Amino acid sequence: MAVLLVVGFCSLVAVAAAGNLYQDFDVTWGDGRAKILNNAQLLTLSLDKTSGSGFQSKSEYLFGKIDMQIKLVPGNSAGTVTAYYLSSQGPTHDEIDFEFLGNLSGDPYTLHTNVFTQGKGNREMQFKLWFDPTKDFHTYSILWNPRHVIFMVDGTPIRDFKNLESRGIAFPKNQPMRIYSSLWNADDWATRGGLVKTDWSKAPFVASYRNFNADACVRGSSRCGSTKSGWWNQELDLTSQGKMRRVQKNYMIYNYCNDAKRFPQGLPPECSVA
């Protein structure tokens, strides 16, 4: 593990991709359904009719570049949700969400994203993944700095939530957040609005995790001092913006900013900002 100390503020910790998952995470629920295997290089969550399972990070982070490789539940995963997210606690919490909504065999997974600021969410964007996320591990990343929250899949940006505090829009910048992940049954809404139920004859359902990497500020101050390079200042260049636009054009299936019926009093203010 390489460690860079930022004097006066917080520690910037670069966790090696082959880090020990016991050192990074605690299994928090599931009564043995969550397992750390392969010399602490692999973590699995499982779901059966009795219970799902979950884990959380030992550390809390305030800004950083967070990567995790995940292989999702294969086969008929309808009704299941694999959630992977950053969150603080309390009624005014901040949260940055990846949620993977299972589907019938052969149908694409839905990737659901959301951003909560000061306890307010309702900023959902959903995508159909352009690959089979159950055949191999893929990297899901959150780049979070004082100006952006960027969601990435295998290094390709899919969403950029910008700091628009100057327009009166809250941005997650003061609350350290832990990483959480869980595998659970949500067949009342997850697949086709709840029309397709979980087939428990296919249980246990298993999702797998490896190669966690956090180049991030561990809980301390609300800023990272003199760290002004790398992810701290990163934003999307023209090439990356083009990649994100292509993903959104071809694979985005829901954007809250296009849902006027949901917001009869007017779309959220960030939706009017180009």
| Residue numbers annotated as active site | 95, 99
The three-class DSSP label of residue 176 is coil
The C-alpha atoms of residue 125 and residue 111 are separated, in whole angstroms, by: 8
Strands (E), the chain: 2-5, 11-14, 25-29, 35-37, 42-47, 53-57, 61-71, 80-87, 95-101, 110-116, 125-128, 138-144, 148-153, 156-162, 178-185, 205-218, 252-255
Please spell the DSSP secondary structure of 55-78, one letter per residue.
Answer: EEESS-EEEEEEEEEEEPPPS--T
